[in-house]
Chain A
Amino acid sequence: MSIIPKRDQLTPKTFLKAESDMETKYMNPYLAGFFLGLLLLATIYITGRGLGASGAVKSGVITAVETVAPAHTNSAEFYKEYKTEHPGSPLKSWLVFEVAGVLIGALLSGLISNRLNFTLETTPGVQPKIRIVTALAGGLLFGFGSQLGRGCTSGAALSGMAVLSTGGIITMMAIFGGAYGFAWFFRKLWLKNQE
C-alpha cells in the first residue's frame, strides 16, 4: 500500500500509476472470465439454473417483513405471490445459500490477496458523506430495478446470456446501455481527479 501516494499528492498521472500498480494483483480478466464461465456452466449442468444475487436480498427482505409484520405478508399481493411460488421458509432458498458462499469466497480471496480492510472507499475529491448517499441511493435503485426486471446483473444478464434468454439479454442491454446513458450526469462522482 505504500506505493500509493497521499491523497493531496494525487495528480492524474500518479493516480493512474497507483491504480495500475494495485491492479497487477488482480487476476487477468480473461482468465477470471473463463473461470467464471466454467463455474456458470457447471452450475447450469448440475442445478439447471444459473447464478444470482438479488434474489437473496429479496428473501432477506421477505423474512424481515414476515417477522416484523406477519399480518401484512398475508394480505399484500407481492408476499402472497412469493409464498405460492416458494412454499417454506424464504431463507431456505438456493440463492441465499449461494450468496452465503459468495461472502465466504470473497473473504477468502481478500484474505489471500491481502485486501481485507474496513474502509469506506471513495473517489478522491468525493466526500464520504456523498459516498454514503450515493451508495444507498444506488442500492435502492438496483434493488428496485432487479425486482422489476426479474433479476440483476448475475441472475438476468449473465445467466440469461448463457442460456440465451431473450429477456435476460434485453435486461443486460438495458442495464449497460442505461449505465452508459446516465454515466455523463454522474461523472463527478467518479472522475474528479482525472479531469
Chain B
Amino acid sequence: MGPLVPELIGEELNLVIAFFIGIGFGFILEQAGFSTSKKLVGLFYGYDFTVLRVFFTAGITAMLGLVIMAHFSLIDLSMVYVNPTFLWSAVIGGLIMGLGFVVGGFCPGTSFCAAAIGKIDALIFIAGGALGVLVFAEAYPALEPLYKAEFWGNVRIFETLGMSQGLFAFLLTVMALGAFYATGIIEKKVNKGETNEATTRRVFTSFAVVFLILGIAAIFLPDKRESVLSDMNNKEALDGIEFSRISIDELALRLMNNDKKYQIIDTRSEQEYALFHLPGAINVPLEKFYGKENAKVFRDKSVKRIFIGANKEDEIKAAYVATQIGIKDPLVLEGGLQKFREEIIGFDKAEAVNKGLNADTERFRLKAASLIPVLIEKDKQAGAPKKVIKKVMGGC
C-alpha cells in the first residue's frame, strides 16, 4: 500500500527519486509550452487557455487516480501530505501570487523551465522570487499573526463542504470539462476565429467522455477506509453478523500460559490503553485499523487475534473491521474487557457463591486473580512497544 516513503523507500533514495520526478515535471511543462510567459498569461487575457487545459487536466487526473486507488486500498490517504488550511494567508498569499503572475508572466515552476531553455526574463523572475522570499523572511515577525491566523487543520475540501469525496471529485471533473469547453469558445472569439486549440472535436469529445465516466465512477467508489468505518457505526450493517467468542476464563488461561498463538488487539483509545491493558495487548484504536500505520500488526497470518474493547458493541465493530482488512475468523472476548476486569481480575469469592459458579471455576479464577495482576504489572514495567510513525513532510 502506498505511499512507499518512508517505510519502503529511505530518505536518500527519496532524494534520487525527487530528481527523476523533477526531470519528468520539467520535461512535461516545457513540452506543454510553459516556458514562455506569453503563453502563460494568455489565460488571463483570453487568447490562450493552454495553462488552464494542462493544469486542470493534470489536477483531475491525479485526483481521480487517488480516489480510485483509495477505494481499492492501494494508497492510504491518511498518510499523504495534505496542505494545511490557514484561511487568510491562503487568500492573501494567493492574491499576491496572482498579481505576481500577471506582472511577471511566470510562476516559480514555469520560471525554472523557461530559465533552463535560456529565457533571461525567467532568470530575472527567479532572482526576484528569491528576493521575495528574503523580504518575507525578514518581515516574518510582523507577518506571523497573519501567517498563522484562522487555522482549520489539514482539512480536505469535501469535509469543509460537507459532502462525500466522490461527489466532490465528480463535481470538480464536470467543472473542469465545462471550463475546457467554454474557454475554447472564448479563445476563438478573442482570436477572431483563430484558435490555439489543436485538439479536434472528436478527440476532445472522447477525452471528455472518458473523464466524465471516471468522475461518475468516483461517486460510487468511496474511500474503502471511510466506507468500512461508516458501516461499522451503522447498526443495521452489523446486525446478524456473528463472530467466534473466547470466554473470559479461556483468555485468562491463555494469558497465564503466555500463549503466543494468540494476539490481543486492544481497540480502545490510547488514553484508556495507557491507564490499563492486558499483558501483551497491542493498542490499535478502531479508526486506525485501516491504513499503513498498523499494517504490520496484522501481517502475521498464523496467529489468532482477539479483539477486545470496552464493551460488546465495540468488539463486534472491531471484529467487523478486522474481517474487512483480511483477518479470517477474528475472536471477540465474551462480555468485553469490563467483564474480564470484574470477574477475573477483581474476582470476589462471596459474589461467586451467589452466582453459583462451580468449584473448579472458582479455584481457577482465584488463581487468575492473583496471577494476572502480576503479569499486567510486569508488562507495564517492560513498557509497551513504541510505535514511531513518521509522516511525510510536503508543501512548497
Q: Which residues of A contact B (CB under 8 A)?
A: 12, 16-17, 19-20, 23-24, 26-30, 32-55, 57-58, 60-62, 64-65, 76-79, 85-86, 92, 94-95, 97-110, 113, 115-123, 131-132, 134-183, 185-187, 189-191, 194
> Are A162 and B63 in contact (CB-based, < 8 A)?
yes
> Are A100 and B130 in contact (CB-based, < 8 A)?
no
Query: Given A48-B81, A105-B29, A178-B97, 20 more contacts at CB 8 Å?
Result: A23-B39, A29-B54, A41-B69, A45-B75, A61-B137, A77-B141, A102-B113, A106-B27, A110-B30, A116-B118, A138-B104, A139-B125, A142-B128, A143-B130, A147-B132, A151-B395, A152-B108, A156-B83, A165-B156, A179-B43
Contacts of B360-396 to chain A: CB distance below 8 A: 391-396
B275 contacts chain A at the CB level, 8 A cutoff: no
Residues on the B chain within 8 Å of A46, using CB: 2-5, 9, 17, 21
> Are A121 and B37 in contact (CB-based, < 8 A)?
yes
> Are A20 and B196 in contact (CB-based, < 8 A)?
yes
Contact mask B335-371 → A, CB, 8 Å, 1/0?
0000000000000000000000000000000000000
> Are A142 and B30 in contact (CB-based, < 8 A)?
no
> Are A174 and B98 in contact (CB-based, < 8 A)?
yes
Contacts of B47-100 to chain A: CB distance below 8 A: 47, 50, 53-63, 65-66, 69, 74-75, 77, 79-87, 89-100
Q: Chain A CB within 10 Å — which of B56, B109, B110, B143 has the most? A: B109
Residues on the A chain within 8 Å of B24, using CB: 39, 101, 105
Report the minimum CB–CB distance from A103 to chain B (whole Å): 5
Contacts of B12-42 to chain A: CB distance below 8 A: 14-33, 35-39, 41
29 A-B residue contacts at CB 8 Å?
A26-B50, A36-B54, A36-B58, A40-B61, A44-B3, A48-B2, A48-B3, A64-B130, A99-B22, A101-B26, A138-B105, A138-B106, A140-B100, A143-B100, A144-B100, A146-B108, A148-B96, A156-B396, A162-B62, A166-B159, A167-B155, A169-B157, A170-B87, A171-B91, A174-B95, A174-B98, A181-B95, A183-B45, A194-B47
Q: Which of B146-154, B229-237, B245-253, B326-334 contacts A (4 or more CB under 8 A)?
A: B146-154
The residue on B at minimum CB distance from A109 is: B30
B298 contacts chain A at the CB level, 8 A cutoff: no
Residues on the B chain within 8 Å of A144, using CB: 96, 100, 132-133, 135-136
Residues on the A chain within 8 Å of B30, using CB: 105-106, 109-110, 113, 115
Q: Chain A CB within 10 Å — which of B58, B115, B155 has the most? A: B58
B112 contacts chain A at the CB level, 8 A cutoff: yes
> Are A163 and B66 in contact (CB-based, < 8 A)?
yes
Residues on the B chain within 8 Å of A19, using CB: 38, 196
Report the minimum CB–CB distance from A56 to chain B (whole Å): 8
> Are B22 and A100 in contact (CB-based, < 8 A)?
yes
B220 contacts chain A at the CB level, 8 A cutoff: no
Contact mask B144-187 → A, CB, 8 Å, 1/0?
10110000101111111000010011001000000010000000
The distance in angstroms between the C-alpha atoms of A50 and B122, with both chains bound, is 23
> Are A178 and B61 in contact (CB-based, < 8 A)?
no
- Tally of contact residues, B, Cβ under 8 A: 147
Prevailing SS type, chain A contact patch: helix
> Are A139 and B396 in contact (CB-based, < 8 A)?
no
> Are B207 and A162 in contact (CB-based, < 8 A)?
no
Residues on the B chain within 8 Å of A180, using CB: 44, 98
> Are B25 and A118 in contact (CB-based, < 8 A)?
no
Report the minimum CB–CB distance from B44 to chain A (whole Å): 4
The distance in angstroms between the C-alpha atoms of A113 and B262, with both chains bound, is 63
Contact of B152 among A51, A86, A167, A178 (CB under 8 A): A167
> Are B63 and A97 in contact (CB-based, < 8 A)?
no
Report the minimum CB–CB distance from A18 to chain B (whole Å): 11
B269 contacts chain A at the CB level, 8 A cutoff: no
Contact of B144 among A77, A115, A140 (CB under 8 A): A77
The residue on B at minimum CB distance from A108 is: B27
By Cβ-Cβ distance, the 7 closest A-B pairs, closest first, are A138-B104, A101-B22, A178-B98, A174-B94, A139-B128, A149-B93, A37-B61
> Are B89 and A148 in contact (CB-based, < 8 A)?
yes
> Are A48 and B54 in contact (CB-based, < 8 A)?
no
B287 contacts chain A at the CB level, 8 A cutoff: no
Q: Chain B CB within 10 Å — which of A115, A144, A159, A189 has the most? A: A144
> Are A51 and B32 in contact (CB-based, < 8 A)?
no
> Are B134 and A47 in contact (CB-based, < 8 A)?
no
Contact of A166 among B43, B92, B157 (CB under 8 A): B157
Residues on the A chain within 8 Å of B15, using CB: 92, 94, 97
The residue on B at minimum CB distance from A144 is: B132
The distance in angstroms between the C-alpha atoms of A102 and B143, with both chains bound, is 31
